[in-house]
């Protein structure tokens, strides 16, 4: 039933509205394999990224969604929970000590089952539109499964759905899909050991480098989560990071 609901939302309930409202365009769909496990690695500008990525490619995409999306209270919480469950998203408890390992193991399982996994290497939404240092989970999943990593560049979603807003704005959105990165070939060509941290770090950095090239966005060599925490606590940007506000790309 969940699979049927996924296609209902995509083709009948939400998809047609977004195609008219935000006029999304996509390039590089031919880079998505027709079958088999794959990892779609995208820059993360807004919640709407998780709507447009599945909308604009022919295969079903599964995301590892934070558990908070499934535990909300009241009418909004129930609707949100029903939506994420119906489209087959997988809840991950990010508060536990084993959260990262659990997410990686779940991702590996999904990819080995032949699914397309959607993931954001930065680990969270960008606080200002720039691209931040990637977490190595994406590389660990790719190296464990041998699945291709397909870079995805999102444009316009931050303006269409600024952080803190619920209703999207009628802003044009675009998505560019790059050629797949073969994880094993990449680390082998650099003489790195497959199970090492160095291999995971190098592959993650390469994925982020490609996203920077594709988007034209500035790179910041800090984790986005740390920057967002510093901003939330009223400390401003951490030392060494030039403040940038209201980035719209």
pLDDT of residue 125: 92
What is the DSSP-derived secondary structure letter of residue 222?
Answer: S
Tens of pLDDT, residue by residue over 187-205, are 999 999 989 999 999 999 9
Average pLDDT, the chain: 89
pLDDT of residue 247: 55
91, exposed or middle or buried, with CB in 10 Å at 0-12, 13-18, 19+?
Answer: middle
pLDDT at 6 over 70: yes
- Span 20-38, average pLDDT: 97
pTM of the model: 0.90
Q: For residue 132, give every residue at least 6 positions away whose Cβ sits within 8 Å of its Cβ, in sequence order, or none.
A: 122, 126, 219, 220, 222, 223, 224, 227
The domains found in the chain, sorted by start residue, are: 2-232 (3.40.1130.10)
Find the angle CA(143)-CA(146)-CA(148) to the nearest 5 degrees: 100
Tens of pLDDT, residue by residue over 229-239, are 999 999 999 98
- Distances in Å between the Cα of 86 and the Cα atoms of 48, 51, 82, 89, 119 are 17, 14, 6, 8, 19
Nearest Cα to Cα of residue 147 among 121, 173, 117, 175:
117
pLDDT at 94 over 70: no
- Span 80-97, average pLDDT: 67
pLDDT of residue 3: 66
- H or E segment at 117? strand 116-119
pLDDT of residue 2: 59
Any idea which of 48-62, 68-82, 119-133 has the lowest mean pLDDT? Answer: 68-82
Q: How far apart are CA 163 and CA 155, in angstroms?
A: 15
Is the Cα torsion angle 213, 214, 216, 220 positive or negative in sign? negative
Q: How far apart are CA 3 and CA 203, in angstroms?
A: 32
């Amino acid at each position: 039933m969940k699979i049927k609901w996924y296609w209902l939302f995509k083709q009948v309930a939400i998809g047609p509205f977004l195609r008219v409202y935000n006029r999304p365009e996509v390039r590089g769909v031919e880079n998505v394999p027709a079958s088999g496990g794959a990892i779609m690695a995208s820059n993360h500008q807004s919640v709407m990224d998780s709507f447009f990525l599945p909308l604009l490619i022919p295969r079903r995409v599964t995301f590892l969604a934070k558990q908070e999306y499934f535990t909300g209270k009241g009418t909004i919480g129930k609707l949100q929970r029903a939506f994420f469950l119906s489209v087959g998203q997988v809840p991950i408890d990010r508060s536990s000590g084993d959260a990262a390992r659990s997410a990686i193991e779940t991702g590996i399982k999904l990819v080995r089952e032949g699914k397309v996994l959607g993931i954001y290497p930065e680990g969270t939404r960008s606080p200002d539109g720039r691209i931040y240092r990637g977490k190595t989970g994406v590389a660990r999943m790719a190296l464990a499964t041998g699945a291709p990593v397909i870079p995805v560049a999102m444009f316009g979603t931050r303006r269409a759905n600024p952080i803190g807003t619920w209703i999207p704005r009628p802003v044009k959105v675009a998505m560019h899909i790059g050629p797949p990165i073969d994880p094993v070939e990449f680390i082998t060509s650099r003489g790195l050991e497959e199970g090492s941290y160095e291999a995971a770090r190098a592959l993650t950095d390469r994925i982020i480098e490609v996203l920077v090239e594709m988007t034209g966005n500035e790179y910041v060599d800090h984790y986005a989560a740390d920057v967002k925490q510093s901003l939330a606590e009223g400390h401003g940007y951490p030392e060494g990071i030039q403040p940038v506000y209201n980035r719209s790309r």
